[in-house]
Amino acid sequence: MKGLMKKIPDECCEYYGNDKILVCQENKRKFVMHNNSGRNLLKIRVDGCLITSGTRCDFAVDDNSTDVYLIELKGKDLRKACIQLKNSYKYFKKNFSYKTIHCRVVLSKISSPAVASCELKEMLKMVKEEKISFKYKNDRLDEILE
């Protein structure tokens, strides 16, 4: 973790600690990490801080092992969320050495056309080829870290 923190500007680090619950929230959308493992977690503001150009996700959470969670909190545009996560994934893969990158989207509403979108299909293809995990859900997504 110490090596990673040297690469992250201080102003982008929103939280570092081992609390049982870590929350990333915007408006009514919420990603909740249940830290049952007691690991130190690093919450990073990606959008407009770590990555300042292009489309990118809102947050990243480093779980102090070999994994990172890329979090996008979105209204109802799953297509755009997929693009933001793909761009963030490429950035993290290039600049850090994580074993697993988990992509998460929390939406206010999932629209039917978005589920059939080319961007979602490309994201699912990337999930299969790159061996990353991808989940999306309405309003709140809970992740349990064992």
How confident is the model at residue 36, as a pLDDT?
96
The total number of structural domains in the chain stands at 1
Element housing 106 (H / E): strand 100-107
Is the model's pLDDT at 120 over the cut of 80?
A: no
Is the model's pLDDT at 45 over the cut of 90?
A: yes
Domain that holds residue 32: 2-145
Is the model's pLDDT at 1 over the cut of 70?
A: no
Is the model's pLDDT at 130 over the cut of 80?
A: yes
For the segment 9-32, the average pLDDT, to the nearest whole number, is 95
Contact 139, 108 (CB under 8 A): yes
How confident is the model at residue 3, as a pLDDT?
47
